[in-house]
Structure 1
């Protein structure tokens, strides 16, 4: 921030006097310009303290001269007396009074260069102070980032330090945390986020600055290699260079937190996968000890294994604090029996869920197998939830893989299908098995003599190479025939 005109004129060694514009002394002085031109404005940017001895000023051009300076936006006019003019011309004083332009009298023994050096020193001091404040702010934000709630603390600190609002957004643009009016202000940013996700030319994502007369907003993507979220900050005034520095520092801290969080999460998931393998291998004690190193544990009492389909990232997030592991094409979730309904109601929003029966820690392998079978059935039936207990009540065939069972049936019964047009062999076998091998009952069902049925069964046994008196062979044949139905 530049020094004000009031600060400059109060410096006693300069002995400056204010003739007009006493109410405008809080204007910033961005530089000092010495000029004897009748129109110096082509060489000005605005915000300068213009110094002149009035060599080209007279009563006729004082008014237009002041109007040009005011139109350019100069901060004030310093007039050196004792050279071209012993006193400041009355016409210049009147024009400055009328225009509200601060008019400063510079005595003969105060060189213009002394004023220039003073302003330069003040600007340098202000810049140093801004840099110092920026470093102090970065330090406070860094300490905030080290807290357990790191990213949220950074967002809160950023809004507080800059006196505006700030918001942390996920990859989709949903607000994860907001400070000030951040939650309400981010809705209009969603269309702009797409530009940051897919920068022109496929380069690295850059920040975005939006300005209106009422608000100035900066949006930055978070992530080292790809966009993993965004943060936005807004002020009711333009961002100063120091504010930009602070915003960039906050962006770096948030990116570091996001990337570190993902690496930590990935490592934790690998440990959980190892714990699941230990549990399935029956090494419960080792599994518990490993989880304790993470500050975690397994629920007590009866457990239920869930197998959840759908997007694994979404399912893992929906599982919350439950023990969940992404494995192959599903997520395995182990929950206490009394937590099943609440957990399933959350998981089913992301894909089908298979539910095993309650088991102990030593029965997790059986519980997982049940959950997997229930999930497979849910996928085939396009059902959101399937329980193994309900599945088991539907008969043995519902537990078998349809594709594998069909292939087994086709291969086993192929000799009977290939035996000319003797479909009566299949029907005879079906009746024989349905009657548990009782010849008279089976023959009566078919409407044939029992000797005819005996002949057919001998032919079936020869074609299949199976002993029909063997219970295992009968079971296989029953499954094969049931599949053909």
Structure 2
């Protein structure tokens, strides 16, 4: 949406003055930004580029040398064209030196066959330019309103990119600061090659790609690219791309803020349930107020253990699943409360974020949610003690259910010390610990051949170690009741060592 030299020549004022293009036909498509009239020799000092310069020739000089200098200076100042009257005040005919020099410079020269009021020419050009500017401002405001309306309606960055693609008839690509393509809109196709070349270009844009930074909190998050914009009715595709980049930043920032706010509310709600400030039904009602529809039956609690500094994600398959689950970071673990159907049908634990396993409760009704919390935490505690941590269901637990409950107090640690104290004390001073041998023997249910094979040692070596263990404990390992007591003690030791709270030192 620009005003070209060719369009200027079609104005009534130029038509009435019998305007003729003498040089520069190749530059008829250049944009006219302003019109200026002057009769002073050094007019070039007052030009800023893009002007249509009107003159009767009084300041061009009487000699060919002066005229050539005048033309060169006007061209160097960036004038779009030099319009000269052939009215007799200075010239009856444009001097040959002017035409020759303008041809060399590539400056369009226009001759006016009759005298014309320059004020009338200026008025017509300014009217056109003003109209173009008004239409451009109107279009810019409309573009801003369009993107603002999308943001107010909750539109995400994809909807903003699609609108930019529609406005500019361009393929639109969003990349992050690591130059990874985050999303695209419009018909990308062959334009990806141009994008790949332009992605490494340090310049903001090229003739075939508009590149605008996406800024968040003063930092560059990434860039928005409009490839090969072809919208002929759009005054400034660059303006549209810049406003789209701003809208994308607001959308991304709003998403982050909304997620942070939702996480804070979810964490507060689950914390109240854990502390007993809310009953199960009350929790379900409050969760519905946060947009999470749990229902009152078939609920499960999932607890995912965390390493220090580690985060957990629950991967879901869409908005419907997210609306049926609420989760919170509880420090040492992440807790998820969801419907049994949503858990089985959509959500799953990201395996890369279950380094220390987790636990899943039984399926319960809302009134039993506090019990389900205990079940999931018990299963997660057992999972933490396993040699290869995994997600454990509460129903798969055995005697560990009782041990987990005892681990909350001093009784279990005292039991472990009573049963295994001499071995633990001896192992801290020895390079060859005996506890692994005792574990293998107990897990083999007293079968010495199986225990020796598991430890990859000879049976005689196993016999010697078992004799030392019996001597330290003052008890016979042949006694089934002794083996059962020691087996529970090793299980208890695993549970205490895997606990995030105070317990026995890990071995």
- 1:144-293 paired onto structure 2 within 5 Å: 144-168=150-174, 175-180=181-186, 184=192, 210-212=204-206, 214-222=208-216, 224=217, 229-236=221-228, 245-273=239-267, 275-276=269-270, 281=276, 283-293=279-289
5 Å-filtered alignment, 1:436-451, equals none
Query: Where does residue 332 of structure 1 map in the other structure?
Result: 335
Instruction: Give the alignment partner of residue 359 of structure 2, picking from 355, 373, 379.
Output: 355
Between stretches 131-140 and 344-353, larger displacement belongs to 344-353
Unaligned runs of 5+ in 1: 193-207, 437-473
Give the direction of change, closer, same or farther, for the CA distance of 1:10–1:356 in structure 2 (3 Å limit).
closer
C-alpha deviation, 1:284, in angstroms: 3.3
Contact persistence 2:36–2:51 (CA under 8 A): yes
Does structure 1 conserve the Cα–Cα contact (< 8 Å) formed by 2:378 and 2:404? Answer: no
Pick from 401, 422, 427 the counterpart of residue 474 of structure 2. 427
How far residue 334 of structure 1 moved from its aligned partner, in angstroms, is 3.1
Cα RMSD, aligned residues only: 5.0
Greater shift, 285-294 or 312-321, is seen at 312-321
| Superposed CA offset, 1:245-284 (max 9, x none) | 5445434434443444344334433443455457665733
Q: Secondary structure at the match of 1:328?
A: coil
Q: State the distance in 1 between where 2:491 and 2:273 align.
A: 37
Mapped to 2, the partners of 1:186 and 1:346 lie a distance apart of: 36
Question: Is 2:369 aligned against 1:364?
Answer: yes
1:305 touches 1:333 (CA, 8 Å); kept in 2?
A: yes
How far apart, CA to CA, are the structure 1 residues paired with 2:210 and 2:325?
Answer: 44
**Measured at CA, do residues 152 and 360 of structure 1 come closer, stay the same or move farther in structure 2, by a change above 3 Å?**
same
Give CA deviations for 1:87-122 in whole Å, capped at 9, x if unaligned: 334665577679875432336642445434544444
Aligned with residue 53 of structure 2, among 46, 50, 54: 50
Q: In 2, Cα distance between the equivalents of 1:413 and 1:98? A: 105
Distance 2:154 2:345 in 1: 28
Q: Aligned in 2, Cα 1:375/1:92: closer, same or farther, shift over 3 Å?
A: same
Q: CA deviation at 1:372?
A: 2.6
Aligned partners of 2:491 and 2:169: how far apart in 1? 75
Q: What is the alpha-carbon distance in structure 2 between the residues aligned to residue 298 and residue 17 of structure 1?
A: 81
The match for 2:137 is: 131
Instruction: Kindly provide the CA deviation profile for residues 33-74 of structure 1, in whole angstroms up to 9, marking residues without a partner as x.
Output: 556678976765543323333442666887787677667764
Partner of 2:498: none
Is the CA contact 1:27–1:75 (under 8 Å) kept in the aligned structure 2?
yes
Distance 1:318 1:175, change over 3 A: farther
**In 2, Cα distance between equivalents of 1:481 and 1:139:** 69
Say which SS state the counterpart of residue 287 (structure 1) adopts: helix
The answer to whether the Cα contact below 8 Å between 2:281 and 2:296 also exists between their aligned partners in 1 is: no
Task: Judge conservation of contact 1:299–1:335 (CA < 8 Å) in 2.
Answer: no
Question: d(CA) in 1 for partners of 2:299 and 2:376?
Answer: 12
CA distance in 1, matches of 2:225, 2:76: 34
Structure 1 residues 264, 332: closer, same or farther in 2, change over 3 A?
Answer: same
SS of the aligned residue for 1:392 comes to coil
For 1:290 and 1:397, the matched residues in 2 are separated by: 34
Distance of 1:191 and 1:383 partners within structure 2: 44
TM-score (norm 2): 0.64
Secondary structure at the counterpart of residue 35 of structure 2? strand
- Matched residues in 2 for 1:156 and 1:313: separation? 33
Tell me which residue corresponds to 1:375: 380
Q: What is the CA–CA distance in structure 1 between the aligned matches of 2:412 and 2:281, rounded to whole Å? A: 42
With normalisation by structure 1, the TM-score equals 0.67
Say which SS state the counterpart of residue 349 (structure 1) adopts.
helix
SS where residue 313 of structure 2 aligns? helix
1:304 aligns with 2:320: no
> Is the aligned partner of 1:103 residue 2:109?
yes
1:149 partner SS: coil
When residues 268 and 179 of structure 1 are mapped into structure 2, their CA distance, relative to the original with a 3 A threshold, is: same
Tell me, yes or no, if the aligned pair for 1:58 and 1:89 is still in contact at 8 Å. no
